[in-house]
Amino acid sequence: MLYQMTVTQFTKMLKNLNQILDKGNAYADQKKFPFEALLNSRLAPDQFNLIRQVQIACDTAKGCAASLTGGEAPTHEDNEKTLDELKVRIKKVITYLETFSTNDFRDAADRKITRPRWEGKYLTGIDFATTHAIPNMYFHITTAYSILRNNGVDLGKKDYLGELPFIKNVL
């Protein structure tokens, strides 16, 4: 279940983020201003800009998968400055997530996961995923969405949620 809650859902949300960024780019083209103006936008003076929100969403996705499976996540330089560079980063993270299978998550729920800033404490894999990684991922994607929405990009809930896996009701 942790595979579906993290890898499957993170992959979907990163693809949605890509489409949200594309809508922002189309909006900038329509209004005749450089998309870079949106990349440097933020909701509050003490909050990260759009670029950093995307970077952290990517880092959260790859870091979560690596932590839950006992691996090491690939590193990125955090030097993106353009939409194309952010899209490359998102693609690299999706490609990384696609290397995992449900079998890789066999022991993930009980794995002890720590971070240096947690000062010798740890979370179990299930607690790490549900109380740290998943909320963090959604926070940064929601904030990226909100930055664009706040700047006039015509986005709605369907853009954020993406396609839902409906099952046809057959009577």
> 129-157 pLDDT, tens per residue?
999 999 999 999 999 999 999 999 999 99
Q: Where on the phi/psi map is residue 162: left (φ > 0), alpha (ψ -120 to 50), or beta? A: left
Contact criterion met (CB below 8 Å) for 106 and 63: no
- CATH classification for the domain delimited by 2-161, as one of 1.20.120.450, 3.40.309.10, 3.40.720.10, 1.10.1040.10: 1.20.120.450
Mean per-residue pLDDT, 159-165 = 94
Mean per-residue pLDDT, 6-15 = 98
Q: What is the largest CA-CA distance in the chain?
A: 56
* Least confident piece of the model among 25-29, 54-58, 111-115, 165-169: 165-169
Mean per-residue pLDDT, 75-87 = 97
Residue 46 phi/psi, 5-degree rounding, is -100, 15
DSSP 7: I
Instruction: Please indicate whether residue 103 or residue 171 has the higher confidence score (pLDDT).
Output: 103
Contact criterion met (CB below 8 Å) for 73 and 133: no
What does the domain layout of the chain look like in residue ranges? 2-161
Task: Enter the pTM of the model.
Answer: 0.95
pLDDT at 126: 98
Question: Mind giving me the DSSP string for 66-133?
Answer: HHHHT--PPP--S---SHHHHHHHHHHHHHHHTT--GGGGTTGGG-EE--GGGTT--EEHHHHIIIII
Other C-beta atoms lying within 10 Å of the C-beta of residue 89: 22
